Amino acid sequence: MNASSTEKFDNSRANEYAKQSRIALAGYDDCHDLAACMLAASLGQSRPAKILVVGAGGTAQEIIAMAALEPDWHFTAVDPSEPMLDAAVQQLQAKGFEVLPSAANFIFARHPQHDAAGLAAKLREQGVIVRHFKQERIAQFLRISIGTPEQNQALIDGLGDL
């Protein structure tokens, strides 16, 4: 965030977030409930999971909704930093991934010898969730959100010996 963005989102505005988001976004709570149901269906209901929530500030409603639905899930809410991003990029590059430049809380990476859909499925089986897209231009890339050092290591461990 730049200085003007920081000034606009001061403590008083942050405290209004829960109220204003529900006014501005019809179905705010229902959207989080639906997302929780979809994630539970994708991972398998009543299966323990570790969930990384990037940018969970404000109401943390997504965590609340998921925890109510799946009490065995464990959550980590983070706001990733640049050094965390750099560490993840280095580890993925060491595994042979091409990583596109990023100034966000995620990286876009592909491996020249492994299918992205297959890698995403392999990681999901181990409770590590990355995003795979089917659009032709990016079908071989994974969108990987950056988390804590332990979560980033879980990704690297989940990739095994590529």
Q: What is the pLDDT along the chain (162 residues), one digit of tens a residue?
A: 444 443 454 445 555 666 777 788 888 888 888 988 998 898 887 888 888 777 555 566 777 788 888 888 887 665 444 555 566 667 667 777 777 776 667 888 999 999 999 999 999 998 899 999 898 889 999 999 887 788 888 899 999 887
pLDDT value at position 82?
58
Tokens matching residue 160: 């095994």
Burial of 159 (0-12, 13-18, 19+ CB in 10 A): buried
CB 51 within 8 A of CB 116: no
What pLDDT is stored for residue 4 in this prediction? 45
pTM (whole model) above 0.85: no
CA-CA-CA-CA torsion sign (122, 109, 81, 21): negative
Task: Report how far apart, in Å, the C-alpha atoms of 157 and of each of 8, 62, 64, 144, 152 are.
Answer: 41, 27, 28, 14, 9
